[in-house]
Amino acid sequence: MRFKKISTRMLTILLFVTILSMVLLSGISYESSKGIIDRQVEENMQAELSSTVNAINLKMQEISSMSSQLALNVGSTYKTTYLLQYEEMIGKTIFKSDLVLGAGIWFEPYVYDASKEYVGPYIHKNDDKALVTYDYSNAEYNYFNYDWYKNAKNNNKETVFSDLYYDETLNTIMSTCATPIYDSNDNFIGVISVDMEIPSIQDLINNFKIGENGKALLINNDGKYITNSDDKKIMKTKINEDENKSLSQFGNVLLNNTNGKSDFSIDNTEYETYYTTVEPFGWKLFIQIPMSELNKPINELMSKLIVVGILAIILTTLAIIWQVRYLTKTIKKVNNLASSLSNGDFSINELEVTSEDELGQMSNSLNKMLSENKNMIQEISDDANKVNSITESLNKSTESLVENYKVIKDSVKNISESMLNSSATTEEVNASVEEVNSSISLLSQETIKSHDMAKDIKVRAYNIEKMSNDSYNKATSLSEVHETNLKQSIENAKIVENIGAMAKAISDIAEQVNLLSLNASIEAARAGEQGKGFAVVASEIGNLAAQTSDTVKEIIETISKVQEAFNKLTNDSTQMLLFIKDTVTPDYKEFVGIANQYDKDANAIEDISIKISEMTNNIEYITHEVGDAIQNIAEASQDTASNSGEIVCSIELVSQLVEQISTIVENEIEVSDNLNSMVKNFTL
């Protein structure tokens, strides 16, 4: 597409880019926000599911703990406890939970009473009282054949919950929690059963609410509804057999998976669902919430993005039009100025600049170009006139130079002959200076050798001093560290004495315990048959006390040997430290003093050699200066003679150049005239 105006081009391109950017931004924002909201919803749903499952498990765990505790108590006390006592205990226990309807103890045949096959008291709630019945403790009921009894007996000491069932008499959903009873010899002797109802769990689920219309439902392991807004479906209808095909398909997914996410529709309303399993019962808990409610924040966000996008496009369009008008207006002014300059008209006024942007900078640059070019052309015109007058004067001067160069040529020839005579004399003086310089160089080399030897001595002395100092410091540090450690070790050795004292105290306590055990044995003997168990314990305590006394004696003997070994080690360490402090350390200190003296001698030798070296260097420098001066004089004489001949040649060449300059001057006069005619073409 071709555009005749830059304003149309900019407006079209910028609007296209802006609209495209807003569409992309809205789409990305929508998708990103949808993903974030979906993740947050899923996290919230999973958290709600976990919280509800934990609440259900807490209630069921309360029943399981109650049953297990009763089984433990009965198993350890059934031989010495009357049934009346168990009835009172269970009567109090069942009122600890609102889920419990009643509980019973069901003994194996002839276990509790050798004359009775059925012993099974059942205690249940009756308003605020506990009633006891033995109606189920008979052959007619025969509790041994019921599933809850068999499951508890065959489930390896674990508490078992029966499947939920609907009791028409009580008009409630129930389950039986059964725990096997084992005696102290690990023999199975019966079952504890706790009958429970679940209205409180149903209320927990029915009262659950998330969002405006989100709710939860609970399904048993067969797919039957435990909770539902339609009471007719509770424990009668399976979700996977529901008349609603979408719901029944969801039911199959629900029962075949442990947890996850799915959807279904009811009466043309789409629902999003999140489900999990309530272990170990196999129940399924799921939360349903309408799709429209989940998508409501996204739809509102999209509406807002569209409104914001439209407003942004309108504001952007207005801003672009305003900027385009500003650009085209400024560009027209610049174009008019450039057109005038191209025609050679420098009499126009400068552009009025009111901005500091790129167009303002361009306008300033054009104004600067106008001003500087106008001044430059004016200066060219003035300089052309000056060049014209100067070239006329230069022509006259060149004629005068040609005559003067002839006189200079004759004078230079005379100077050249005189300088050749003085050159021979300077050569003889230069030879004598070179002999003196050679002798001084030999002396300088010897002083350098002396200086190097002094440096070597100084380095060796420094190394000796450093090594001696290091050895002295190490010996001193070693002595101090080991002396400190030895003192600390002596202090630590006192702990051994404390251990001996503690061992003595333990021995005294063991003797007292032995006496107490003898007294206890005597008292147990007096008690007769009832004190036999206590006599055995007292005898064992006496044996342990005797063993403790023997062990303490061995500890005391070992401590004595440790103290003797430690004292010998302390004496040897002390002798070694004295040897280091009195013998080794002073020797190292003497080495340091000798090294210091070597260093001072090396410094004195070095100072003397430096002074001699400086003196020889000064003499050598002076002789070199004298030799160089004489050599320079000789060379200057020869150069002067040589240059004199070159000057003569140069003078002849300059004469020729002056004649050429005269010709160039005449040409410049012609160029200056042409330049003046060109400047007149510009309007200033």
pLDDT in tens, 191-217: 999 999 998 899 999 999 888 889 999
User: Helix 6-77 to helix 291-342 angle, to the nearest 10 degrees?
Assistant: 150
User: 269 and 390: one domain?
Assistant: no
Strand 260-266's sheet: what is its strand order?
215-219, 283-290, 269-278, 260-266
Contact 181, 75 (CB under 8 A): yes
Q: What is the pTM of this model?
A: 0.46
pLDDT in tens, 449-466: 756 766 776 677 677 667
Q: Considering only CA atoms, which of 342, 365, 198 is closest in space to residue 350?
A: 365
- For the chain, the distance separating the N- and C-terminal CA atoms, rounded to the nearest angstrom, is 44
Contact 224, 236 (CB under 8 A): yes
Q: What is the C-alpha to C-alpha distance for residues 371 and 124, in angstroms, rounded to an integer?
A: 115
Enumerate residues 6+ apart whose C-beta is below 8 A from 406: 655
User: 392 and 248: one domain?
Assistant: no
pLDDT category, 71, cuts 50, 70, 90?
Answer: very high
Contact 67, 178 (CB under 8 A): yes
Task: Identify the domain boundary among 263, 292, 321.
Answer: 292
Tell me the backbone φ, ψ of residue 219, rounded to 5 degrees: -120, 140
Enumerate residues 6+ apart whose C-beta is below 8 A from 272: 41, 261, 263, 288, 289, 290, 291, 294
- The DSSP call for residue 352 is P
Residue range(s) defining the domain that contains residue 666: 373-677
CATH code at 485? 1.10.287.950
User: 644 and 498: one domain?
Assistant: yes
User: 263 and 386: one domain?
Assistant: no
User: 281 and 379: one domain?
Assistant: no
Q: What is the C-alpha to C-alpha distance for residues 151 and 50, in angstroms, rounded to an integer?
A: 29
pLDDT surpasses 70 at 117: yes
User: 285 and 403: one domain?
Assistant: no
Classify residue 268 as left (phi > 0), alpha (psi -120 to 50) or beta. Answer: left
pLDDT category, 443, cuts 50, 70, 90?
Answer: low
* Number of structural domains the chain divides into: 2
Does any domain span residue 401?
Answer: yes
pLDDT reported for residue 64:
95
Picking from 100-109, 166-175, 227-236, which range would have the lowest pLDDT averaged per residue? 166-175
Does any domain span residue 203?
Answer: yes
Does any domain span residue 140?
Answer: yes
User: 535 and 630: one domain?
Assistant: yes
**SS3 for 557?**
helix
Does any domain span residue 265?
Answer: yes
User: 378 and 287: one domain?
Assistant: no
Question: How far, in whole angstroms, is CA 613 from its chain's centroid?
Answer: 65
Q: Considering only CA atoms, which of 280, 282, 285 is closest in space to residue 160?
A: 280
pLDDT reported for residue 606:
66
Pairing of strands 188-197, 283-290: unpaired
pLDDT in tens, 319-335: 888 877 777 777 777 77
Task: Identify the domain boundary among 266, 292, 318.
Answer: 292
Tell which wins on pLDDT, 435 or 623.
435
Contact 239, 87 (CB under 8 A): no
Does any domain span residue 184?
Answer: yes
User: 549 and 405: one domain?
Assistant: yes
Does any domain span residue 603?
Answer: yes
Does any domain span residue 50?
Answer: yes
CATH code at 144? 3.30.450.20
Does any domain span residue 527?
Answer: yes
pLDDT reported for residue 188:
96
User: 273 and 384: one domain?
Assistant: no
The DSSP H or E segment spanning 161 is strand 160-161
Q: What is the C-alpha to C-alpha distance for residues 594 and 679, in angstroms, rounded to an integer?
A: 95
User: 537 and 653: one domain?
Assistant: yes
Contact 94, 100 (CB under 8 A): yes
User: Helix 6-77 to helix 199-206 angle, to the nearest 10 degrees?
Assistant: 170
User: 632 and 500: one domain?
Assistant: yes
Task: Identify the domain boundary among 242, 272, 292.
Answer: 292
pLDDT category, 181, cuts 50, 70, 90?
Answer: very high
pLDDT in tens, 2-36: 666 676 777 788 788 888 888 888 788 778 877 88
The encoded tokens of residue 150 equal 């068999």
Q: What is the mean pLDDT of residues 158-177?
A: 88
